[in-house]
Structure 1
Amino acid sequence: MQTIILQLPDSLNITSKEVGMLLAARLYEQGKLSLGQAAELAGYSKRTFMELLGDYGVSVFNYPAESIARDAANA
């Protein structure tokens, strides 16, 4: 696993836990991490991570509309 060190301005008033959640949510949204991987990165259980995703404007159901329509048509 990589370690990244960021220096953020004090004026942001953000904790390292919040930074981890922001990064995990964004990487999950982009499909670069699975739900479990993103939850682990953020330091939460899957259930808690799923509940928090809404606070960051990220849907738990991370599928493009085209994929959903295709799956429905194939069902």
Structure 2
Amino acid sequence: MKLRMPEGALASMRNDPEGFARELCLAAAVKWYEMGRISQGRAAEIAGLSRSEFLASLARYGLSPFQCSAEELEAEAGRD
């Protein structure tokens, strides 16, 4: 896949092409996981990380590894 970037975009981000590609894959994987479109395992694969590394990345993005609302968690906790 090819991606066109404005002249100097990578320099302004202080990143080389390979680093930018890794960062872009991680950002896409995190967003798709947040949207519920892919699983943690698939997101980790897209990002080129282990599942535990991906979970740590979620924390850096300020996201929870859990894909349910507080109400859903409470309902699950109340089930026996």
Task: Give the TM interval when normalised to the shorter protein.
Answer: 0.7 to 0.9
> Which entry has the higher C-alpha Rg, 1 or 2?
2
Number of aligned positions between the proteins:
72
- Percent identity (aligned): 35
Match of 1:19 in 2: 24
1:29 aligns to what? Answer: 34
1:20-64 per-position Cα deviation (integer Å, ceiling 9, x unaligned):
111000111111110000000001011111111111121112211
TM-score normalised to the size of structure 2? 0.76
Q: Following TM superposition, by how much is the alpha carbon of 1:12 offset from its aligned partner in structure 2, in angstroms?
A: 4.5
- 1:7, distance to aligned residue in structure 2 (A): 2.3
TM-score, normalised relative to structure 1: 0.80
Q: Which runs of 5+ in 1 are unaligned?
A: none
Q: Which runs of 5+ in 2 are unaligned?
A: none
Aligned CA RMSD, in angstroms, stands at: 1.7
Counterparts of residues 1-75 of structure 1 (less than 5 Å): 5-9=2-6, 10=9, 11-13=12-14, 15-75=20-80
Runs of 4+, deviation exceeding 2 Å? 5-9, 11-14
Closer/same/farther in 2, CA of residues 43 and 71 from structure 1, 3 Å limit: same
Query: Using the alignment, how far apart are the partners of 1:43 and 1:72 within structure 2?
Result: 34
